[in-house]
Amino acid sequence: MARLTALTPINHDGRDYAEGDDLTVADDAQAAQLIDCGAAVAKGGKSKAQKAAEVAQAAQQEAAQADAQAKNDAEAAAAGKPAAQGNGESQGNAEGQGSEG
């Protein structure tokens, strides 16, 4: 038995449910179909649109961080300082590790 929240008008078991109404679906397969087609979400669950909005927001934050890092690197280069390295580990060369001898 699944407890769902309607995202669109639903007629289930002879009863009409409006957007935002809670309904209980005894058949788990029917509940899964309502969720898969976007007509409902599990009670307390997030809709596809909400999940997509969260992903988009995370991508925007990541892009803003990348822009800030690029700006810092450009300012450091203009000041004659080496750009910040990603993980802080030293970088070796193809011949060996670190300096030439």
Q: Per-domain residue ranges for the chain?
A: 2-45, 47-78
pTM given for the model: 0.45
E-strand spans in the chain? 2-6, 10-12, 15-17, 22-25, 40-42
pLDDT digits (tens, 9 = 90+) for 34-84: 999 999 988 876 666 776 777 788 889 999 999 999 999 888 888 876 656
The pLDDT score that the predictor gives to residue 94 is: 52
Cα–Cα distances (Å) from 39 to 2, 26, 46, in that order, read 14, 16, 12
Closest to 9 (Cα-Cα) out of 35, 48, 17: 17
Asked if 57 and 18 touch (Cβ cutoff 8 Å), the reply is: no
The pLDDT score that the predictor gives to residue 98 is: 54
Asked if 2 and 28 touch (Cβ cutoff 8 Å), the reply is: yes
